[in-house]
A = this chain, B = another copy of it.
Amino acid sequence: MAEYATGIGTSTLDSISLLGQDLAGDLIGQVSFGELAYRLATKRQPTAGQLRVFEAVLVSLADHGFTPTAIAARMTYYSAPESLQGAIAAGLLGGGSRFLGVTEDTGKYLNAIAKGLGSTEGWTAEQWDDAAREAITATRSAGGKIPGLGHPVHKNGDPRTPVIMHIAEDSGVKGVHLKLFEAIGRVHPEILGNTLPLNGAGVAGAALADAGLPVDLLRGFALLARTAGLIGHIAEEREHPIGPTLYTHVDRNAVYMPPEAETGTND
């Protein structure tokens, strides 16, 4: 007989259980939405410091203005305003490699390196720098890219990075991922030959990993944060739509270049 195990939720005539607690008695009004999201993903209760970092990172990732994903959500809402879920889903579907993936990529990258370091207890900045140098060099030799470095706008430094670093430190959450990321920030110029900022998406990934979130799910938290941002975009689209203007702009500036007549061949 098929069985489906879950530790998330169940209910009886009189009660609803969530994560082994009574939803009505223990959770509603007792924990923040951020805390519940943390616990749903990890099945652990965060420390106060972990939760503070988690909420801070979600805030940092919620919106980035008119990104391609926000545009996709708005165009979908314009086409099918009766289906809010479709517009939000369309916006999330752009949460892939190019724009939203850096958070998870950075977390995974740092995590893979960290696993090879053994105990780092009591390490000095020099030791972190050595580890970072070795990692960057190995990545570059293999033709790889260091995730979390560089930003198209914030070329002198991403304003989110020091704030998240500070909150993590202040909360006692700063661990191997953030320390390694910081070290990458210090030593990469001598290896790469140019100085790039540690970007906000990257520091978000490092901070989430240090806050105890599973590195294979980091993209999920970027998507959760972005859902709040997309609701904001759709709320705004209802009041002051850009959809018609943007559609008209593309339509008017379309240049038709039809394919040349060509008979089919097998090549």
Q: Quick one: closest B residue to A237, CB to CB?
A: B6
Contact of A37 among B23, B100, B231 (CB under 8 A): B231
Q: Please choose the segment from A130-138, A185-193, A246-254 that sits at the chain B interface, where 4 or more of its residues have CB less than 8 A away.
A: A246-254
Is B92 within 8 A of A88, CB to CB? yes
Interfacial residues of chain A within 10-45, with CB under 8 A of chain B in the complex: 10-25, 27-29, 31-34, 36-37, 40-45
The closest CB in chain B to the CB of A54 belongs to: B33
Q: Contact between A262 and B89 (Cβ–Cβ < 8 Å)?
A: no
Query: Is A148 positioned at the interface, with any CB of B under 8 Å from its CB?
Result: no
A114 beta carbon closer than 8 Å to chain B: no
A202 on the B face (CB < 8 A): no
The answer to whether the Cβ of A62 comes within 8 Å of any Cβ in the partner chain is yes
Contact A254 B6 (CB under 8 A): yes
The minimal Cβ–Cβ distance linking A28 to chain B, given in whole angstroms, is: 5
> Do B228 and A88 touch across chains, with their CB atoms under 8 A apart?
no
| Chain B residues, CB < 8 A from A5 | 240, 242, 254-257
State the oligomeric state as a number of copies: 4
Q: Which residues of B contact A248 (CB under 8 A)?
A: 2
Closest chain B residue to A233 by CB distance?
A: B8
Q: Restricting to A159-178, which residues have a CB under 8 Å from any CB of B?
A: 159-160, 162-164, 167, 172-173, 175
B264–A47 touching, CB < 8 Å: yes
- Interface stretch, picked from A64-72, A121-129, A139-147, is A64-72
Taking A75-B71, A242-B4 as contacts, is the C-beta distance between A92 and B89 under 8 angstroms?
yes
Asked if B65 and A69 make an inter-chain contact with CB atoms under 8 angstroms apart, the answer reads no
Contact B96 A79 (CB under 8 A): yes
Shortest Cβ distance from A228 into B: residue: B37
| Chain B min CB distance to A38 (Å) | 9
A21 and B256 alpha carbons, distance in the complex (Å): 12
Contact pick for A228, options B13, B21, B52, B224, CB 8 Å? B224
- 24 CB-based A-B contacts, threshold 8 Å: A2-B248, A4-B242, A5-B255, A6-B254, A6-B257, A8-B65, A8-B233, A27-B59, A29-B163, A32-B59, A33-B37, A40-B62, A41-B235, A45-B264, A65-B254, A68-B76, A71-B250, A79-B95, A79-B96, A80-B97, A212-B265, A216-B238, A223-B231, A224-B231
3 closest Cβ contacts across the A-B interface? A80-B96, A20-B258, A40-B232
